Amino acid sequence: MSRTQWSEPGAPVHQDEEQRLRELGYKPVLARRMGGFGNFAISFSVISILSGCMTLYGFGLGTGGPAVMLWGWAGVGLFVLCVGLALAEVTSAYPTSGALYYMADRLGGRRWGWYTGWLNLLGLLGAIAGIDYGAALFTGAFLNLQWGFEPTPGSTMLIFIAILLLHAVLNLFGVRLVSILNSISVWWHLGGVALIVGALWIVPDHHQSPEFVFTEFVNDTGWSNPFYVAAIGLLLAQYTFSGYDASAHLSEETSNASVSAAKGIVRAIWVSWIAGFVLLTGLTFAIQDYKGTQESATGVPPAQILLDALGSGGATALLLVVIAAQLFCGNAEVAAASRMVFAFSRDNALPGSALWRKVSSRTQTPVPAVWLSVAVACVLALPSLYSATAYGAVTAINVIGITPAYAIPIFLRLRAGDRFQPGPWSLGRWSRPIGWIAVVWVACVTVLFCLPQSSPVTGDTMNYASIALAVVLVLASVWWYVARRSYGTPSAYGSDREQAEIAEGIV
């Protein structure tokens, strides 16, 4: 992988990136205060194995059980690494906050960029809802263990709203605080996994056998086809392995972004792949009562595993470790989603774009975009008040929104062939084979997670993710005919489109 410069030798790297951003059509208005480790840390924090693995662990117990969770994690991780490698290559060429939709626009045209942007936005906002609602569930479980609090849908929603407000406020202080929190988050996640797995290995007198952990298949879905059930069970891994485009969305705030953002994506995936496998293995070995774990009074099966294996005191302490990790994760996701809202509005793609692209002159943070992100995430989680299966639908919304958005710029890069000009970080001769593996994988999982997850299919058990996807595509199509004259990405700063609007958006 080669390294190139975009300005005179000896010029500071951040100046090279500011010049590159102008070449891509945008005036720099965000603060470039994030380093390479911070960029990796935001994607690692958003993937958050202590959020995704833990919140959907109960889902995995009934959709294939231990065998699908462990082997599914290994297989999905490999395919996602291919997606990440291919996406990193395109990110290196187009390091902007718009990320996926900007890449698609450049490689395929305005309409490709438009639909990619709406899918990406749906996925990012669904991720905030899924992450923070998961943190609310675990907070309810902690309160149950500590004070006998009985979590209800209403109380969980209030906790969820409080978490959303916390993340909005933290993001208003600027990207430097976000970067510091994400750097802490990396070590918190890795230390947390080591602590949880170590405690579950040392303390309990009884552990499940390796045969149980790696071969036990459990089907509580109502479907009779084991292949269908196993395929649905892959949602645990695929949901966790999402959000690594955060590195790309923060590229306008990252030094040497053309290299750092690409490396950040790939590193976040492979570190999470290894650590997540260790976490899932440790949890599954420590199951004391399978049915009791599924039917836990805490409402959170991993909490029951900790309780059965370590007792109330140990379970309570480790739940705090998990909750803190989930809060780090949600905070990072709000940062990524708000940058997407800012960038999409900068190109006049959203209703009310003039408001959502405003940037604080004090913190150089897109303040209205932060508030819009948490508000929409709150709306997406409201069905959880009425349906026990709604949380699974929210996580599926995240997957089927954001995952196709990953594949579109990869596909367009493959279609472009030699017309694509790689950035400093390139896959070389491996670009096409890895790219096609990524595209085919994404096509498969997008169809898969639109399918019903339980049988019989009723109003309560239906997978509403497909409806959410259809609604977004319809709204995007309708809005296209309203905004198509104003929407567009510029070719170079100040050439194709007047960029003074952006400067006027600084408040």
Greater confidence (490 vs 41) lies with: 41
pLDDT at 493 (0 to 100): 52
The per-residue pLDDT for 393 is 66
Per-residue confidence at 326, pLDDT binned at 50, 70, 90?
very high
**CB of 104 within 8 A of CB of 111?**
no
Q: Mean of the pLDDT values across residues 244-257?
A: 90
pLDDT in tens, 204-219: 999 999 999 999 999 9
Average pLDDT over residues 253-277: 95
Highest mean pLDDT among 173-182, 339-348, 369-378, 473-482: 369-378
Return the pLDDT at 489: 79
- pLDDT category at 284 given cuts 50, 70, 90 is very high
Tell me which DSSP letter residue 48 carries: T
Pairs from 148-155 (Cβ < 8 Å, separation ≥ 24): 151/298, 151/299, 153/384, 153/385, 153/386, 154/385
Q: pLDDT digits over 380-410, tens only?
A: 888 888 776 666 667 667 777 788 899 999 9
**pLDDT, tens digit, for every residue of 80-131?**
999 999 999 999 999 998 889 999 999 999 999 999 999 888 888 988 988 8
Q: Which of 112-116, 339-343, 498-502 has the lowest mean pLDDT?
A: 498-502
The mean of the pLDDT values for the chain is: 87
Q: Which residue has the higher pLDDT, 35 or 8?
A: 35
Calpha distance 490→497 (Å, rounded): 6
Residue 427: alpha-carbon gap to chain centroid: 23
Asked if residue 2 has pLDDT above 50, the reply is no
Number of residues in the chain: 507
Give CA angle at 125 (329, 357), nearest 5°.
Answer: 105
Q: Residue 196: what pLDDT?
A: 95
- Structure confidence by residue, pLDDT tens digits, 49-69: 998 899 889 999 999 999 999
> Using an 8 Å Cβ cutoff, are 126 and 401 in contact?
yes
Specify the pLDDT at position 495. Answer: 43
Does residue 505 surpass a pLDDT of 50?
A: no
* Strands 63-64, 218-219: pairing kind: antiparallel
H-type alpha helices, 382-495: 390-416, 431-448, 465-483
Helices 153-171, 367-381: inter-axial angle, 10-degree rounding? 170
* Whole-number pLDDT of residue 248: 92
Residue 175 confidence (pLDDT) above 60: yes
- CA dist 77 and 72 (Å) reads 8
Better pLDDT: 66 or 29: 66
